[in-house]
Amino acid sequence: MAEKTLVFISGKYEGGSYTLPEQGTITIGRGGELDIVVVEDMVSRRHAEIRVEGEQVVYQDLGSTNGSFLNGERFSKATLKHGDRLALGSSILEYRSPETGLQEAPKMPEPSIPPRLDFSDAPPSELSDRSEDDFAEQSFVDAPSDLSIMSLPDEDNLSSLDGDIDIAPPVEIPENGTIEEETIRETIELLGTARFSGVLKIDSDDETHAVSFKNGQLIDVQHGEYEGLDPRKALSRLLPIDEGVFTIEKNDSISGQAIEADTDKLLGATVYQLQEFESLMNKLPAPEDKLIVCRPIPGQLRSLHEDELDIFQLVFNVGFFQLVLDRSTSSDLATARTVERLLENGYIKV
């Protein structure tokens, strides 16, 4: 029987795949004991389950904090079809079903071979007395003496070829510029394309930020003087900056591990989180607002998810919404969604 599979087509697990059982249920989430483990801050410990029921494959979200998305739309339960794409955090999985997948390519016809000529009945001639060696010798002796071998020009002599040859020029990296002319995202994309190694420094509103690169990959992001900020979170704070100046300092000896192998995908995931965060702005407190724990607490704390308990404790310890965002180990988007739920359910208030 042909296999049904889930394939990671984007995110930190890109290229990985999981073969679904013929019958049964698998669970997806951060928990190490689960069938498909996705270690991301926007993925809940037990995020979702997939049930294989004969030919049907049913996806069920398990009340995850940040939800599941099917082909770009948030949902809780659906029967999957071939080609459906599931988004969990920054990871995208594609469901592939052989029953409705690509058909086998048609076979090419066998090449026809011309019939071998038969000279057995041909009249004898003077050629019949000549050996194979005679023919081989004549093939060289009778060859014209002025044959020349055409060779390709070397790299230094390409101008000798007729016609125009388009050779892509190297990417030009400016030493400095203004964010009004080149956005931070555009500059990062340029440095990624150029496989740049060094540091992009950004000065805006009396703060200095830094983005470090190694062979075009981001290895660190510093937002102002806040050294403890996660690089992904720091990047999400940098991209919206629209005023200031930047300088680019090359350093081929810089070292460090890449935050994400594909810089373009890292930027894309960050922009998506920024757009989602912006859509929540009217439901969230202002950054300078102080959050307090409601008393009495409306329900049992054990009923809260693990990430909700973490944010609840941060509200109790530091209070101000901006500090909660800064000190949360989750992304700004995941933290904002959790704060929104705690406000709606009466666990905290402004």
Please tell me the predicted confidence (pLDDT) of residue 99.
61
- Taking Cα atoms as reference points, which of 102, 267, 306 lies closest to residue 188? 267
- Taking Cα atoms as reference points, which of 346, 230, 263, 272 lies closest to residue 66? 272
Give dist(CA 188, CA 262) in Å, integer.
Answer: 12
- Taking Cα atoms as reference points, which of 338, 349, 348, 350 lies closest to residue 308? 338
Contact 338, 65 (CB under 8 A): yes
Residue 198 C-alpha from the chain's centroid? 22
Please tell me the predicted confidence (pLDDT) of residue 162.
47
Please tell me the predicted confidence (pLDDT) of residue 219.
93
φ, ψ of residue 70 in degrees (nearest 5): -115, 115
Buried b (16+ CB within 10 A) or exposed e, 217-230: bbbbbbbbeeeebb
Contact 85, 59 (CB under 8 A): no
Please tell me the predicted confidence (pLDDT) of residue 171.
60
Give dist(CA 318, CA 290) in Å, integer.
Answer: 9
Give dist(CA 31, CA 26) in Å, integer.
Answer: 13
The pTM for the full model equals 0.52
Give dist(CA 327, CA 184) in Å, integer.
Answer: 24
Beta strands per DSSP E along the chain: 5-10, 17-19, 24-29, 36-37, 48-53, 56-61, 68-70, 73-75, 77-79, 85-88, 91-96, 176-178, 198-204, 207-214, 217-222, 245-250, 292-293, 348-349
Helix, strand, or coil here: 24? strand
Tell me the mean pLDDT per 10 residues along the chain, length 350. 83 86 90 84 85 90 84 87 87 82 41 46 48 44 42 46 46 81 85 90 91 93 84 91 91 89 81 84 91 89 87 93 90 90 91
Contact 65, 74 (CB under 8 A): no
Cβ-based neighbour number of residue 325 at 10 Å: 22
Helix, strand, or coil here: 119? coil
Sequence-separated contacts (24+) of 171-179 with Cβ below 8 Å:
173/248, 173/250, 174/248, 175/247, 175/248, 176/245, 176/246, 176/247, 176/248, 177/245, 177/246, 178/244, 178/245, 178/246, 179/204, 179/241, 179/242, 179/243, 179/244, 179/245, 179/246
Give dist(CA 284, CA 263) in Å, integer.
Answer: 30
CA-CA-CA-CA torsion sign (61, 20, 38, 193): negative
